[in-house]
A and B are shown apart, each in its own frame.
Chain A
Amino acid sequence: MADEVEQQPSTNTVEEPLDLIRLSLDERIYVKMRNDRELRGRLHAYDQHLNMILGDVEETVTTVEIDDETYEELYKSTKRNIPMLFVRGDGVVLVAPPLRVG
């Protein structure tokens, strides 16, 4: 099921959860990963393990710092851009269309 290369299955109906990801091929998607990471990029390929190839990716790493005195939680995020990225599936938590900022 190394999709995008093999002949696409003839059915266009959604039969299993992975088919939902197939609908997002070549679209921009949002990927939530383990360790407080998020990716936004164009989905070029995926497989049954959720290994993915994303293009024009922006990775966001979020950290929480606790202020020593006020014990406030300070959320910091670091971003970086990568032109083409292979993502190993076991780090993926969820896949969704890109979130619209309200």
Chain B
Amino acid sequence: MDPVDVQGQSQGEVCSSLRERSISENSLVALLQGMQGHVTTVELRDEGWAQGRLQNVDAFMNLRMRDVLYRGHNMGHTSKLQDLFITGRNIRFVHIPDHMDVLQTIQTQLQRIHRVRTFNREGGGGGRREYCPKKK
């Protein structure tokens, strides 16, 4: 394992699972995926919060974050964590950085997903088709 690159998925890399891609492109999770690489604050269901760099977001909104300042609900103090995983169910809010263009981020992420589909399609017929070809 390369010790330098701790990142799971770099900015915008699309999940290789077809199922997850379909879920992402049909919901606002695509925005969060487009935010990979940015620093945000995630507020949790149990009143805690975590502020750090979004490393990876999957279709179920599970997050991995790096260099996180985390405060649990019953803690009076914050902890510094190098790596944090948050289950999607436990998220209440995600703060969106001011500089971020929401529309553009979503469109870019959807384009990345479509590009992956096209790439798979062009596998010379050997690539897996994501949609049934039209019947003549």
Contacts and interface: CB of A to CB of B under 8 A. Distances in A.
30 contacts: A1-B27, A2-B25, A2-B28, A2-B30, A2-B110, A4-B103, A5-B106, A45-B31, A45-B102, A45-B106, A46-B28, A47-B28, A48-B26, A48-B27, A49-B27, A49-B28, A51-B27, A53-B31, A53-B96, A82-B95, A84-B95, A84-B96, A85-B94, A86-B28, A86-B93, A86-B95, A86-B96, A88-B61, A88-B93, A91-B45
Given A5-B107, A90-B89, A84 B100 contact: yes
A95 interface: no
Interface of B: 25-32, 45, 61, 88-89, 91-98, 100, 102-103, 106-107, 110
Interface of A: 1-2, 4-5, 44-49, 51-53, 82-88, 90-91
Contact of B32 (A48, A49, A86): A86
A85 B28 contact: no
A51 B28 contact: yes
